[in-house]
Copies of this chain bind each other. A is one copy, B any other.
Amino acid sequence: MNHVCEKVNIKMKNFIRLLIGSGENCADIRYATGISTPDDFIFYEFNDTRCAILSALEIDRAKNNAKPGVTVLPESSFDSIKRLDILLAVAQKHHCRTFAVPEKFPLGLADKMRAAGVIVTVAEEDFFPQREFKTPDEVKLITAAQRAAEAGFARAVDILKNSSVDGNFISWQGKTLTSEILRAEIDSEILRNNMLPTGTICAGGIQGAQPHNAGSGPLKANSPIVMDIFPRSPESGYWGDLTRTVVKGKAPDIVRRAYDAVLEAREYAKTLIKPGSYGASIHCAAEGILEKHHFFTGSDERGQFGFFHGLGHGVGLEIHESPRLSPRAKNALRGGEVVTVEPGLYYPEWGGIRLEDLMYLPLDGSPALCLTAAPDFLEIS
């Protein structure tokens, strides 16, 4: 069974590096080719050859968008357009019967390739480890998406400023303001900034105690509203990521104290974004600040409470990518990373507070830069 779990060092060159994925959902293939597609296609790299193989439907657009050095071929240039047959033809053409593929390569195809006599090995490291370390151009593309997230947040703040309190609820333009209405307004602003909204969270009150609850129904005054806004550029594929939590009216004391603790944790963690810092240590430092403020983490019969997610994650062609800032993160920051710093506190009694900034640690050793320009405040009167 040795061939099954055989591993390769992907810096070696005696194999064909192979990816299969859609430009929209597979960040590696978009990174390698610059091509964005809804459907899967083949990319391979062998010595100086870098080749994308696509269906008729995509071929012209792919040729327009392919990165320099990437050859675009139609499936129809092969004798058979079956994926297995194409890959066997590629192996024959380059006189190489070993393919190195990423961890997520589809098992069904790999099994067929192995049955046909080629070796398929899973690359030991990330397929493009350099994706973790952003070029200045990539930072610009991420920042552009971040600006759209901020525009969406500014729109939400504007609506909340122009709302009134009607009993327990928030009223805007004569109607009860709901999560759905607020989200649609944020998302429309993102669209006007030529970015795509992708599932904006507007979770009020106790809905905010579930970090990924998108929010629904009427929004209450004097209660926290978590807004997590992560637009993506349809052209570049890069993401932005921003979270703010606000209260229309007056924040209850516990909410104000949680807000202050989370803000202090975030600002302290941001000072630790530097070369040599370990993701796990930064996470623990933030947790320590929250505990200093007497906010503890645990679970009971109602579920989890406190700070029970990772402090942050890389952002690039994936919204969640390497590196992680979490108890499980193993590596130290080196420079080039773009990461979120987003501590949060969640309690089923009153809801959640999450405050998220986006940080860039330059390659040249200079101090980390905050890519987020959105202001911090809790109450909107």
1/0 per position for A185-200, CB-CB distance to B under 8 A? Answer: 0011001101011110
Q: Would you call A69 an interface residue if the criterion is a C-beta within 8 Å of the partner chain's C-beta atoms?
A: no
Q: Does A309 contact B (CB under 8 A)?
A: yes
Contact of A213 with B107 in the complex, beta carbons under 8 Å: no
Quote the shortest CB–CB distance from A78 to chain B (angstroms): 15
A234 at the interface (CB under 8 A from B): yes
| A308–B188 CA distance with the chains assembled, in angstroms | 34
CB atoms of A108 and B104 under 8 A apart: yes
Quick one: given A56-B304, A105-B106, A106-B104, are A199 and B120 in contact (CB under 8 Å)?
Answer: no
A114 interface hit (Cβ, 8 Å): yes
Q: Looking at the assembled complex, report how far the CB atom of A321 sits from the nearest CB atom of chain B, in whole angstroms.
A: 11
Does any Cβ of B come within 8 Å of A281's Cβ?
no
How many copies of this kind of chain does the complex include? 2
A257 at the interface (CB under 8 A from B): no
Per DSSP, chain A at the interface is mixed
CB distance from A175 to the nearest CB of B (A): 13
A264 at the binding interface (Cβ < 8 Å):
no
Contacts of A308 in B (CB 8 A): 56-57
Report the nearest B residue to A328, measured CB to CB.
B81
Q: Kindly list chain B residues whose C-beta atoms are within 8 Å of the C-beta of A256.
A: none
A109 at interface, CB cutoff 8 A: yes
Q: Is A98 an interface residue (CB 8 A)?
A: no
For chain A, give the interface size range: 35 or more
Q: How far is the CA of A101 from the CA of B109 in the complex (A)?
A: 13
Cα separation A101 to B319 with both chains bound (whole Å): 27
**A184 contacts B180, C-beta separation under 8 Å:** no
Q: Which residues of B contact A209 (CB under 8 A)?
A: 60
The CA of A111 and the CA of B110, in the complex, are separated in Å by: 10
Give the residues in chain B near A198, CB-CB below 8 Å.
Answer: 196
Among B184, B196, B320, point to the contact of A192 (Cβ < 8 A): B184
Bound CA span A108–B209, Å: 35
**Closest B-chain residue to A104, C-beta based?**
B106
Q: Is A214 on the interface with B (CB-CB < 8 A)? A: yes
Assess the B212–A1 pair: CB atoms within 8 A. Answer: no
Interface residues of A (CB under 8 A from B): 1, 4-5, 24-25, 37-39, 56-61, 63-64, 101-112, 114-115, 120, 122, 180, 183-184, 187-188, 191-192, 194, 196-199, 209-214, 234, 303-304, 308-309, 319-320
Name 22 A/B residue pairs within 8 A (Cβ), A-sorted. Answer: A1-B114, A4-B114, A5-B114, A5-B115, A25-B25, A38-B320, A56-B308, A56-B309, A57-B308, A60-B209, A60-B210, A64-B210, A101-B107, A103-B108, A104-B106, A105-B106, A105-B108, A107-B120, A184-B188, A188-B191, A191-B197, A199-B234
The 6 A-B residue pairs with the shortest CB-CB distance in the complex, in nearest-first order: A103-B108, A188-B188, A184-B191, A5-B115, A105-B107, A60-B303
